[in-house]
Amino acid sequence: MAVRQLRYEGDEILRKKCKEVTVVDDKIRELLDDMLDTLHTMPNGAAIAACQVGVLKRLVVIDMGNGVIKLVNPKITGTSGVQESIEGCLSFPDKAGITVRPKKVTVQAQNEFGEEILLEGEDLMAKCLCHEIEHLDGRVFLEHVISFVD
DSSP symbol at 57: B
Residue 1 lies in a domain: no
Query: Does 84 fall in a domain?
Result: yes
Q: Is 144 annotated as a binding residue?
A: no
| Confidence band of 43 (pLDDT split at 50, 70, 90) | confident
Q: How many separate domains does the chain show?
A: 1
The reply to whether 131 sits in an annotated binding site is yes
Query: Could you tell me the residue range of the domain that residue 47 belongs to?
Result: 10-147
- The CATH number assigned to the domain holding 115 equals 3.90.45.10
**pTM of the model as a whole:** 0.96
Candidates 9, 112, 116, 132; catalytic one? 132
* 18 annotated ligand binder: no
The model's pLDDT over 73-113, given as tens digits with 9 standing for 90+, comes to 999 999 999 999 999 999 999 999 999 999 999 999 999 99
134 is catalytic: no
Q: Would 5 be classed as within a structural domain?
A: no
Residues 108-121: tens digit of each pLDDT: 999 999 999 999 99
Bridge partners, 47 (sequence order): 62
